[in-house]
Amino acid sequence: MKAAGLFFLLVLAVWGQDTSYLGFDRNEYPGDSSLKTLHQTFSYAGYWLNNPPGATSNSWTGHRAAVEAAGFGFLVLFNGRLYAQLKSVANAQQLGKVDAQSAAASARREGFPQATILFLDQEQGGRMLPEQKAYIYAWVDGVIAAGFRAGIYCSAIPAPDGSNVVTAEDIREAAGARKVVYWAINDACPPAPGCSFSQQLPRPTESGISFAEIWQFAQSPQRKDVAGHCTNYNRDGNCYPPGTAPAQGLHVDLNTATSVDPSHGRLR
C-alpha cells in the first residue's frame, strides 16, 4: 500500500475513535408520534426491558420495531436490584441468575438479536457490597450464557463518604476476565456539559472513566446535589430536546457514545 493511502486509513481510524454520537433515555416511552422529532437530534434511544426505577409498568414494551423504523439505535436496559432487596434474600447470586434469564427472555420477546448488549441498571453508587457484587456478576454471566453481551450502567462519580470509591472502577476491578461494557453516569459540571445539545459532543472517556463506551452526562430532573453547577437546564429542572416544548413533558437524560447503536440492537 502506498504511504499516502496508509496515512489516509490511519486518519480515518483516529477520526472514528474520536467521533461521538448523542442519544437519550427516559423511563416513559415518548410515543410513536414524537420519534421523528427526537430523531432529528438523537442517534439512539434507551429501551427498557422491565419496569424502570420507581415504575409499576413498562411503557416501552412492544415498541422496538417502531423505534428502529424511526432510525434509532438502542441502549437496552434492565433495571437491577437495590441493596435493600438483595440483603433480604437468601441468595443474591441466585437472584442475579434469575434476573439474567428474565432480561434475556424479555430481549428475545422484544425482537432484539443475539449478541445485543444488555445493560444492568445499577442505581446505587459507592463501593459495591458482597451481595451487590454477587448479584451483578451472576447477572453478567447469565446474560452472556444466554447469547447476549453484558453491560452495566453505573456511577463514575467518587463516593461522597470520604472513600472516593468510583463504582465503575470498583465493579471492573472485581470482574475478572468477564467482558463488560460500561455506561458511566457523571452529570456534575464539569466535566459534564449539562443539558447541552452541542454538535461538539464530549467523548465517553471524558466522564472520568477511561474504559467507558457510553456516558450519561445529563439527567432529568437535574440532581441539585451533584449537577448544581450546571446552568443550562430548563428552569423547572428538566432537560428538553430541541423541537419540543416543556408543556409536552418530553424531558430526557442525555448520553454520548462511540456508536450510533451502542447496544448493537438493530436488526438491519
Res 17: pLDDT: 52
Bridge-partner residues for 250, per DSSP?
none
Q: Which three cell numbers stand for residue 253?
A: 437524560
Q: What integer is the mean pLDDT of 30-57?
A: 97
How many other C-beta atoms are found inside a 10 Å radius of the C-beta of residue 229?
A: 11
Q: Which amino acid is at 151?
A: G
Res 196: pLDDT: 96
163-184 pLDDT tens trace: 899 999 999 999 999 999 999 9
Q: Exposed (0-12), middle (13-18) or buried (19+): which is 61, by Cβ within 10 Å?
A: middle
CA–CA separation, 125 vs 166, rounded Å? 8
73-113 pLDDT tens trace: 999 999 999 999 999 999 999 999 999 999 999 999 999 99
Res 7: pLDDT: 41
Question: If residue 183 lies in a helix (H) or strand (E), which one and from where to where?
Answer: strand 180-185
pTM, entire model: 0.92
Residues in the chain: 268
φ, ψ (nearest 5 deg) of residue 25: -140, 155
